[in-house]
Structure 1
Amino acid sequence: MSRPAFRVSAALAAAAAAALALTACSGSGSGSSSSDTHFVSGTGTSATVPVKDRGAAISLSGQDLDGKPLSLADYRGKVVVLNVWGSWCGPCRAEAGDLESVFKATQAEGVQFVGINTRDLQVPAAKAFVSAHGLTYPNLYDPDGELLLKFPKGSLNPQAIPSTLILDREGRVAVRALQPLTSEQLTKLLQPVLAEKS
């Protein structure tokens, strides 16, 4: 390959990688209603699902950052806050402390947080993120994004990182936020689900 052709090829590859990075770490997403998911638009990019329209329980299991088994089924009966993050994602770093503070404030009320670390090809990078932000809840390790593809169609956009889902006590998606959240925003989304009769 000639030198000019190599330069053009390298430039195209760099542009494609940059575009992928921008898509993968998105601070925004679609919060519009969808007839097949029953999501109802909220403010910004968060959406809720009315109780009567919630689908089946999310069945998700894998390994945590230490290689130990972790399954959402273990938390059935609790309200679960499921946060998708990557150590490479700026908005994820911005919201991490807020997530931990809400976890500590609501744990006694029957709320469990579970993280899904995605697209970190090296476990040490993910563990460094957890340590730096003082996260005390468990995290599934999903380096290739395979776990994200197991969610029902329309319930989670695998390209919107960070994303947060709130599962009701039966394990069904009640709320999704395709954006970074402050502690105030997350608490506001969490309280109605927590107030539901089990």
Structure 2
Amino acid sequence: MSDSRAPRRLTSRRRLALFAAGAAAASLTLSACGDGASGGSAQTRFVQGKNGVDTVKPGDRQPAPALSGETTTGKKLDVADYKGKVVIVNVWGSWCGPCIAEAPNFAKVASEVKDKGVQFVGINTRDAEKSQAVQFEEEHKVPYPSLYDPTGKLMLRFPKGSLNPQSIPSTIAIDRQGRIAARSIGPLAEDDLRKMVDPLIAEK
């Protein structure tokens, strides 16, 4: 009797292990540091760019979600206050290697386009303490504020079927009307970041 039951118990354990592995993989979709897979569908209506930047035509853009809260330095910030400007939202963590690699590119471009109606905003996530994020910002001379989002709640506010952040780092471009216009998953080189920002600056 015991021998005949063994295979069934093993099968159940295997199923449980597979289920747990699948759940773990799903939970890492938003927390994985590095490149994520971006796929399109009939609902998303975005164009996958060769430079890794996915874009949406103005008529197909969805409103960006409410992004507000406390910054890494303890100030209140509401991205809606920047409506009328192009807003570049960068999701990052101080522990993330690709975030460290792209930080100088973001600091440089943000400073250069500030007077062209562009506001950069960070979303710091998965850092247990604000001090970790502040140290990163100081070290890399980040010239713009970042919302402190240790549990990733703000990332989950992006609507289903939109160009939503799917990994860390991710970058979202919001047009002057407050709509999601472009996304990049993974670290951005300086030239690719400019290719994301410049067309939105040119829009009237």
The two structures share one fold, judged by TM-score above 0.5: yes
Question: Is residue 25–residue 89 contact of structure 1 (8 Å, CA) maintained in 2?
Answer: no
The answer to whether 1:143 aligns with 2:125 is no
**Which letter maps to 1:167?**
I
**Which letter maps to 2:118?**
V
Partner of residue 92 from structure 2, selected from 59, 70, 85: 85
Offset of 1:175 from its aligned partner?
0.5
**Which letter maps to 1:109?**
K
Once the two structures are superposed, the pairs formed by residues 83-162 of structure 1 within 5 Å of their partners are 83-154=90-161, 155-158=163-166, 160-162=167-169
Q: Which residue of 1 aligns with 2:45?
A: 38
Structure-1 separation of matches of 2:53 and 2:35: 10
Partner of residue 50 from structure 1, selected from 57, 63, 74: 57
**Which letter maps to 1:46?**
V
SS at match of 1:24: coil
User: TM-score, normalising length from structure 1?
Assistant: 0.84
SS at match of 2:39: coil
Cα shift readout 1:3-57 (whole Å, capped 9, x = no counterpart): xxxxxxxxx9xxx8x9777973342223332222221111153200000100124
Offset of 1:80 from its aligned partner?
0.5
Q: Which residue of 2 aligns with 1:9?
A: none
User: TM-score, normalising length from structure 2?
Assistant: 0.82
Unmatched runs of 5 consecutive residues or more in structure 2: 1-16
Q: Which residue of 2 aligns with 1:168?
A: 175
Q: Which residue of 1 aligns with 2:11?
A: none
Cα shift readout 1:101-158 (whole Å, capped 9, x = no counterpart): 0001100101000000001011111111001100010100000111111111142244
Structure-1 separation of matches of 2:53 and 2:172: 10
Question: Is residue 165–residue 171 contact of structure 2 (8 Å, CA) maintained in 1?
Answer: no
Matched-pair identity in %: 48
Structure-1 separation of matches of 2:47 and 2:36: 14
**Which letter maps to 1:73?**
A
Q: Structure 1 residues 29, 70: CA separation in 2 closer, same or farther (over 3 Å shift)?
A: same
Structure-2 separation of matches of 1:23 and 1:141: 16
SS at match of 2:148: strand
Aligned length: 181
Offset of 1:64 from its aligned partner?
0.5
**Which letter maps to 1:156?**
N
